[in-house]
Amino acid sequence: MPFIYNRSVYFRDTDAAGVVYFAQVLVICHEAYEASLAAFGINLRTFFQNSELAIPITHASVDFLRPIYCGDRLLVYLTPQLASETEFQVKYALFVDQQDKPVSQALTRHVCIHPTQRKRQPLSEEMQQWCQKCQG
């Protein structure tokens, strides 16, 4: 079952046209990613300061299906998928309130590396379990 993140759209998220600035959609998706890790019980401080592994984003894309406005209530559906022992991707579907069609969709790809050697390494058991639990 995908993880669902609730978030209001704030004025700071919008551009001069009054709609969500394109880069903010990825910010919102990353907030959902962090919230899903925390909800799974992963300590974010140690996760992001880990000296043995890092999981950078290697690709990000966003499709905008309709405008998102200040005051909209977003539901972000986050679904990770293991791609290999060293990689996963996260699909995001953003809905306004309880509408049945997404207003935006996004994708991020992540790879697990050793932070100083910059070489791929297997994902931790904890991250593999997170991927499997959020997949359903």
Catalytically active residues, by annotation = 15
Q: Given 3-state DSSP classes, what are the helix, strand and coil percentages for the chain, each rounded to the nearest 5?
A: 25, 35, 35
HSE, side-chain direction, 13 A CA sphere, residue 124: 11
Phi, psi (rounded to 5 degrees) for 53: -155, 150
What angle do helix axes 125-135 and 22-39 make, rounded to 10 degrees? 110
